[in-house]
Amino acid sequence: TASYTKEECDIPLRIAVPGETLKTETLRLMPTANGFHTTKLFIQLISPGGVVSNYDIEAPVMKSGGKYKINLEFEEMKPYMYLTSTKIDDWTEEWIYRGEILNPED
């Protein structure tokens, strides 16, 4: 039976500079298990002052061998987000935030 599992992967530490973009190295994640209709991601950001911000994200299915890119504007991030996909080329999809999920269990 397929199930969601929690896997931690560290994003390189960096001090945020206004107007700059934080880019990570390539993160290798497992594709979405058969039978699931979304990919679930959880991001936890900790500010230099120790403030913790948690983000639950639902995204389209990740396929084996696929390449996915997520661009999020920090000011627009919400505790629950649903991302939609935009095809960049034959190998790459970009996931875009399109609104807040009011009840993530629905």
Q: Is the pLDDT of residue 15 over 60?
A: no
Domain boundaries, the chain: 43-100
In single-letter form, the type of residue at position 28 comes to R
Question: Among 11-25, 68-82, 91-105, which stretch is predicted with the lowest mean pLDDT?
Answer: 91-105
Measure Cα distances from 36 to 12, 39, 66, 105 in Å: 29, 8, 16, 14
Confidence of residue 27 (pLDDT cuts 50, 70, 90): low
Q: Cα-Cα-Cα-Cα dihedral of 57, 63, 69, 73, to 10°?
A: -10
Q: What percent of the chain has pLDDT over 70?
A: 54
pTM score: 0.63
* pLDDT (tens digit per residue) in 33-76: 777 888 888 888 877 788 889 999 888 888 777 777 777 777 78
Sign of dihedral through CA atoms 86, 15, 25, 35? negative
